[in-house]
Amino acid sequence: MSTFRAIRIDKAEKGTTASFADLDDSALMEGDVDIRVSHSSLNFKDGLAITGKSPVVRRFPMVPGIDLAGVVEASRNAAFKPGDRVLVTGCGLGETHLGGYAQRARVNGAWVIPIPGDLSPAQAMAIGTAGFTAMVCVMTLEKFGVTPADGPAIVTGAAGGVGSIAVHLLKKVGWHVIASTGRPQESAYLKDLGADEIIDRKELSEPGRPLGKERWAAGVDTVGSHTLANVLAMTKARGAISCCGLAQGMDLPVTVAPFILRNVSLLGVDCNSTPRAMRVDAWNRLARQLDRKALAGLTAHIPFDGLMQAAQDILDGKVRGRIVVDLP
């Protein structure tokens, strides 16, 4: 029976522990598609899982990693054959099903997406859950009906993975983009991605008024808490904000004022359970619309053995853009 390298999270007397381990095929879970994983990525949720800072993992032992890409080794699903280039994001990876921080994975074929166009597995993971989430946020705003003609769009946590790609995607479809960040040194980086204005996150991160001056018609929020409350309070009448993150906190200290006085809408985005048809559509749009040079500029690569330190770095706000994990 062949063995493969992985990160394994185990339940400890207090919290959890994460370590490198050699697993064999008997560790794989149920599924009808076997994938040789070549790349994964690092997301905020992965940092929480590896460090144990939040109860992300709901099954033990667990291989973390909410993203993976590689080639099909074996398939009992008619939609896939050996050699197909594929990716999986979300769908419980790293939470309830063994995830992408392993050289092999066995998954449900319904979760598997063919890598679209000429994207490589590494580029697919440079996009990963973060880029997929950003695209779903943009698609959600479009479905709601708000347009660039209505005013600017705000992106919070703009230097992070979701935020960086959201800035770029919104600009590509015509928005005037306002990027909020706590890292002023990243201003040039954000402007290269398409940001028209940069504001300091301090303008949004402290307790604010129930209603503020109308500043934007739409937005992508990755932060939550007081930041999202202030974003909503400054959204123009009949505007909408798509919400997908909680970097500042899970709380939302907002009043009903933006909703009942300005008809503002808060649009929740959960990319873990996005329907397959929407997944395929989002990935095809990413392959068409995301500039490859811009993608390369917001991406860094790390080796598999650098994951433990990188997991702490992303929680400490030291990671810019996207981190691709190159598996051995």
CA distance 114 to 106: 15
pLDDT per residue as tens digits for the range 18-62: 999 999 999 999 999 999 999 999 999 999 999 999 889 999 999
Instruction: Read off the pLDDT of each residue in 249-259 and give the average, rounded to a whole number.
Output: 96
pLDDT tier for residue 1 given thresholds of 50, 70 and 90 = low
pLDDT at 219: 98
Give me the residues paired with residue 105 across strands: 35
pLDDT at 206: 96
Question: Nearest CA to 178 among 167, 162, 169?
Answer: 167
Model confidence at 247: pLDDT above 70: yes
Question: Nearest CA to 57 among 5, 18, 6?
Answer: 18
**Tokens, residue 170:** 């919104």
CA distance 105 to 97: 10
pLDDT tier for residue 2 given thresholds of 50, 70 and 90 = confident
For the chain, domain boundaries:
3-115+298-326, 128-271
pLDDT at 322: 96
Are 277 and 285 in contact by the 8 Å Cβ rule? The answer is no
Model confidence at 160: pLDDT above 80: yes
Model confidence at 244: pLDDT above 90: yes
Are 9 and 18 in contact by the 8 Å Cβ rule? The answer is yes
Domain 128-271 listed as CATH 3.40.50.720: yes
pLDDT at 55: 87
Which residue's entry shows tokens 């598999």?
A: 304
Terminal Cα-to-Cα distance of the chain (whole angstroms):
19
pLDDT per residue as tens digits for the range 179-233: 999 999 999 999 999 999 999 999 999 999 999 999 999 999 999 999 999 999 9
Judge if 3-115+298-326 and 128-271 fold alike in CATH terms. Answer: no
Contacts of residue 197, Cβ cutoff 8 Å, sequence gap at least 6: 152, 176, 177, 178, 179
Model confidence at 271: pLDDT above 90: no
Question: Nearest CA to 242 among 259, 219, 262?
Answer: 219
Are 202 and 223 in contact by the 8 Å Cβ rule? The answer is no
Architecture of the domain spanning 3-115+298-326: Alpha-Beta Complex (3.90)
Model confidence at 161: pLDDT above 80: yes
pLDDT at 273: 84
What is the pTM for the complete model shown? 0.94
Share of the chain above pLDDT 90, in %: 95
CA distance 70 to 8: 20
pLDDT at 16: 95
